[in-house]
Amino acid sequence: MKILVINGPNLNMLGIREPDIYGKEDYNALCGMINAHCRRLGIEVEIFQSNHEGEIVDKIQSAYKKFDGIVINPAAYTHTSVAIPDAIKAVGIPAVEVHISDVSRREPYRRVSYVREACVGSVVGEGFGGYTRAIDLLAFGEKEGGRL
Ligand code: DQA
């Protein structure tokens, strides 16, 4: 199985940006955790980060017929982008949306997710562990992964 993990704008600033919300661990630590989890499960993984909406759309398009699942934290584009969910629907690859923080308990504008309807699941407010949960959801389905 091949999974593509996509991280949107400012997630490269983890550890520096708002540590009370996103934690003190940096982006490298997040990548290390994802890589270790996939290695344990025998999953091939590629991790991509961009601060640019068009680059994220390009990356999703390039996954067509190459990846079996997508884990995506679109970050701020969650609440604004129509192009990202359109790209997920275009390639037809099962995708799970992840948010490190609990977006349902923050500013009202963060409660809107345009990406959610293009995804088979969402994991919200579980910190970095949300990414491994999302990978499990894609690898094992609803039962063990637990749809949230
Ligand atoms: C985020 C939540 C978004 O609202 C915010 O813009 C982010 C990160 C999260 O992981 O909690 O950049 O997606």
> Do the Cβ atoms of 76 and 50 come closer than 8 Å?
no
Clarify whether 22 is annotated catalytic. yes
Candidates 37, 77, 99, 131; catalytic one: 99
Q: Which atom of ligand 1 is nearest to the CA of 98?
A: 10
Distance 68 CA to ligand 1 centre (A): 24
Residue by residue, pLDDT tens for the chain (148 residues) are 999 999 999 999 999 999 999 999 999 999 999 999 999 999 999 999 999 999 999 999 999 999 999 999 999 999 999 999 999 999 999 999 999 999 999 999 999 999 999 999 999 999 999 999 999 999 998 655 554 4
Q: Which residues pair with 45 in a beta bridge?
A: 3
Domain spans in the chain, listed from the N-terminal domain onward? 2-143
Q: Which atom of ligand 1 is nearest to the CA of 106?
A: 4
Cα–Cα dist 117/128, whole Å: 22
**CATH fold for domain 2-143:** Rossmann fold (3.40.50)
